[in-house]
Amino acid sequence: MANTLAHVKDLHWIVIEDGPQIVPAIVKLLKRTNLPYTYMAHKTAVGYPKRGWYQRTMALRFIRSNWEEMLGSEHTEGVLYFGDDDNSYDIRLFTDYIRNVKKLGMWAVGLMYDVLVEAPKVTNGTVTGYNVIWHPTRKFAVDMAGYAVNLKVILNSIAVFGTSCQRGKGSPETCFLDDLGLEREDIEPFGCEGEKDREIFVWHTKTSTPNIVQSKKNQTKPVPPPDTFGYFVEV
């Protein structure tokens, strides 16, 4: 993700650590990108699911308090996108899609759960529904990776991610976008031109714990931890 964002101009990266403190290795990585960034730690509060909802809320509060400093004197507009470390990004997602969002942009996401792709249904440039497996009748049936919101919309609202979302069948995207005062008619679809060979710029590649040998229960001698040969490995 850092390797992609390092090539995006005029970007401020906000990273929220789900824990009691920031990680020195992440600080090194962020500095190496030469991007302006904000890195802070917010361990998930009691009552919130451990799915990044609380961290996104903390980011939203930070943006609303510091947006002028983040934009600087050279810029008057911005767009908010919720990135995630388990996704893979094409730089064109930022340069061709996100950069051009006027209100609410939406696009396809690859490798979603048990399907190859999920995307909005578009007729004559208007979103009429969603090509998704899980509750397609939701007002905003979109994954967190599949949309971005113009900063003006964010600043004109106090919407955050709550501890649950009944309107979204348990998914937070519908509640958040609904609470921002957005309607389906506000969606600007990207990448839906043509009938075939459409490209996908964000993929749910996911991260998973590697199958490293660990000590077993009832074992008389614990298996020593794998040798990392002096390299930092976060597990």
What residues are annotated to the active site? 173
Determine contact, residues 41/21, Cβ cutoff 8 Å. Answer: yes
The token duo for 82 is 């919720």
Q: How far apart are CA 32 and CA 30, in angstroms?
A: 5
The span from the CA of 206 to the CA of 168, in Å, is 22
Task: Please check if 197 is assigned to a binding site.
Answer: no
**54 token code pair:** 């609380």
**Beta strands of 7-114 (E only): which ranges?**
13-17, 37-41, 79-80, 88-89, 104-106, 109-112
- The annotation places the binding site for Mn(2+) at 86
Question: Which residues carry a binding-site annotation?
Answer: 86
